[in-house]
């Protein structure tokens, strides 16, 4: 791999206090929990055209060419929500600028000042659960993400100097969970059956699941265009029932089987599913008359 330098946005996330988690749950159980979260974050970055570079066990370094600062921030928001759903916390920081890409011991690597600044930012404080970035890139954010940015204040970064630091809010107390209207109360089913083009899978409530165009998901929905993201939807179970979260680039439409009501899922917000229905990935139902990109779902005992 030849060395190259590209303008890129850099995102670093790191699971907080994983040592305590391993002590509390045991090495094997904790490792599975950490791995599931990291895999979901990597899939989320890739769905936003990000490139996964490396991980040292509890963290992820991803880059977004352009530099696509909004894609990096959008991934950070989704990552914090994924961590929260898993009962974990993340440190997160992003920066942009020239990045040197090369190989280190036969593996892809990225180095340079931009990486160093992102690394300093992601653990700016001892308290996890925030997303930090430098003020110079705030105006590069898309308006819907820019509205989430708030001034944190000037901070001295080792080896960098004084930086005006901002945070990006990832929590939506009023929108985090939205209930999809249903004709009948949701039965708190322990399982969820998904079907697509003759393939059926049954989810249980023991972990979260991802479906999309990629083969790493529990159900694959091929799309030659493609409008279906590699990681398009995430499903998880709670005492309230089954929730779905759209983590795609092109959106998802839901149809309630009982009422026939159709609506688009809000991006990056969990929604409680009705007892049964269909999800159209990457386009509206009217644009998928043959059901090629539609997944049906139904709660099971």
Q: Which residues contact 294 (CB under 8 A, 6 or more apart)?
A: 196, 278, 279, 280, 281, 285, 288
Residue 12 corresponds to which tokens in the numbers above? 């670093």
Overall domain count for the chain: 2
Domain match, 208 and 276 both: yes
Q: What is the CATH number of the domain that holds 93?
A: 3.30.70.1230
The one-digit pLDDT tens for each residue of the chain (301 residues) are: 578 999 999 999 999 887 777 777 777 888 888 888 999 999 999 989 999 999 887 899 999 998 899 999 999 999 999 988 888 899 999 999 999 998 877 778 899 999 999 999 999 988 899 999 999 999 999 998 998 998 888 889 988 999 999 999 998 643 344 444 443 334 445 799 999 999 999 998 777 788 999 887 899 999 999 999 888 898 888 766 888 988 888 999 999 999 999 999 988 777 889 999 999 999 999 999 999 999 999 998 7
Residue 73 corresponds to which tokens in the numbers above? 């921030």
Domain match, 27 and 161 both: yes
Domain match, 277 and 211 both: yes
Query: 104, 139, 168: which is the final residue of a domain?
Result: 168
| pTM of the complete model | 0.60
For 29, the domain range is 4-168
């Amino acid at each position: 791999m030849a060395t190259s330098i590209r303008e890129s946005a850099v995102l670093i996330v790191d699971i907080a206090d994983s040592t305590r988690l391993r002590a509390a749950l045991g090495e094997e159980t904790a490792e599975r929990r950490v791995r599931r979260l990291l895999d979901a974050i990597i899939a989320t970055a890739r769905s936003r055209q990000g490139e996964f570079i490396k991980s040292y066990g509890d963290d992820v370094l991803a880059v977004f060419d352009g530099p696509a600062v909004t894609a990096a921030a959008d991934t950070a928001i989704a990552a914090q929500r994924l961590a929260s759903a898993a009962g974990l916390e993340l440190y997160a920081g992003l920066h942009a600028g020239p990045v040197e890409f090369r190989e280190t011991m036969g593996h892809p690597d990225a180095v340079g000042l931009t990486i160093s600044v992102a690394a300093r930012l992601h653990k700016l404080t001892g308290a996890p659960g925030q997303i930090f970035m430098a003020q110079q890139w705030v105006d590069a954010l898309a308006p819907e993400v820019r509205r989430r940015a708030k001034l944190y204040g000037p901070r001295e970064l080792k080896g960098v100097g004084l930086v005006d630091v901002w945070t990006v809010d990832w929590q939506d107390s009023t929108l985090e969970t939205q209930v999809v209207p249903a004709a009948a109360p949701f039965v708190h089913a322990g399982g969820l059956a998904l079907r697509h083009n003759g393939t059926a899978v049954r989810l249980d409530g023991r972990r979260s699941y991802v479906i999309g165009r990629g083969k790493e998901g529990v159900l694959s929905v091929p799309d030659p265009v493609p409008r279906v993201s590699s990681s398009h939807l995430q499903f998880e179970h709670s005492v309230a029932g089954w929730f779905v979260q759209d983590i795609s680039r092109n959106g998802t439409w839901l149809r309630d089987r009982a009422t026939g009501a159709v609506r688009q899922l809000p991006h990056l917000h969990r929604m409680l599913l009705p007892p049964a229905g269909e999800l159209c990935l990457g386009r509206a139902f009217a644009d998928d008359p043959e059901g090629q990109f539609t997944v049906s779902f139904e709660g099971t005992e």
